Structure 1
Amino acid sequence: MDVSRPSVARMYDHLLGGTDNYQVDREACDELLRIAPSTRELALVNRAFLIRAVRYLAREQGVRRFLDHGSGLPTRPNVHQVAQDIDPASEVVYIDNDPVVLVHGEIMLAEDPTTTAVLNADMRDTTKIFESSAVRRLLRDEQQPVGALFVSVLHCIPDDDDPWGLVRKVAQQLPPGSYLVISQLASDDPELRHSITDFMQEITHNSWGQVRSISEVNRFFEGLDLLEAPEPVEVSRWLPDSDLAPRQRSEEWIEYGGVARIG
């Protein structure tokens, strides 16, 4: 584990008010906040979107199995806790390859080893993921839908690695009637997109993707049936709990996405 350079997972943890981060992560967040002051607000509304989307799929759509790509550091409530609040038998497989995330995942497994698994894998390696015992077990009943989560992670994949193809490939391997939850950092300001992308590439030693335009994010939803919104939206507008729910006020860059059913 290299703590001499920032980790995207630990930076996100810091922005959410967590404690599992280092000085290098906090300094990187300070610089990111200088470039885009709404970054902390964006992280908070995205986490709230994740919780609402999982609760919605569990309560309204009867989903009991979730596949969380690029899950990041555990932040309560976690996906399995939200889903199990609806049905204690709900199952979750978390996927990540960050060493810090995996250490915390092992602790989480100790709390709930029968319905929760943490898989050490790059989310681009769909062969490894779908051949793993954890995911094969999750997919054991082909009649039961799965909620596949790509929440604030697709911007970590560069265009050359075809994140759109990745989402399609995952969708093709899920049972009919499954669901996708997608959010991605987006802006229609080219200068902002480039400045943030360049900064994140620099601090991660070119192991990041890019901020995308609204039209580029819309491509993830092509051929899918969007739920609770006629089109992808800034995520704080997707089925807000109430008028008091966290809202993104700035439009400088946004978490943009939605929830969709696979036909």
Structure 2
Amino acid sequence: MRFEGKVAVVTGAGSGIGRATALRLASEGALVVVNDLRAQAAEETVRLIGGGEAVAGDVLEPGFVDRLLDGTVERHGRLDVLHNNVGFGGRASFTEVDDATWARGIDGNLGATFRGIRAALRIMGPRGGGVVVNTASMAGVAKVAGVTPYYGTAKAAVIHLTKEAAVEGGPSGVRVNAVVPGSVSTPAFASYLGEAGLARYAAQLPLPRLADPADIAAAVAFLASDDAAAITGVALPVDSGLAALLAQPDA
């Protein structure tokens, strides 16, 4: 019960990694404020938890993130953990991405994370501490063929933004880290590759299994807990060893 008596906010918690993180933090005692763009999805996560609060809304909307975190403190008295998890991508080449799509992709994957960190530092700093965990991606470490260029670019910036915030927040007792998922076993990924494709993909990994959303959630919970009290500014891969592997051409 590492989070007993603590309050956490998880964005994009209506499915996937966000939902898994909300469930994990709640299972260890946290009161979780579940944010998602889709009200029904946020409410379903709260139902699965058996408590907490659902707050629907778009982190791209000006002022929403500030209202989300300020409202959490007003209703629950504190904010101990923020998981900035919202992100989205797609498949497109450079020449297929227009200016509006580029701007929205950078803002959704980077701008929303920046606004979350900024609001958390404003709230947590004067209270003497707290933890922010950001969701980055292996797409921010190297190019993933076919994936729209705004996604990896923004996720690379999230990794650096994590370091910026860790240095600035440290003197106030605020820790800031990131998880860096590789390919995660989700319905969307299964639909994209198919069962045979999933098996071939997993077989190429040093640890021949895809990560599950619960694996990412476990890493988030560790980084958010006092077990990681001396860890800040870290981008932790959860990728079945993908980052350790240098691809080689077939002989």
TM-score, normalization: structure 1?
A: 0.47
Structure having the larger proportion of residues in helix: 2
TM-score, normalization: structure 2?
A: 0.49
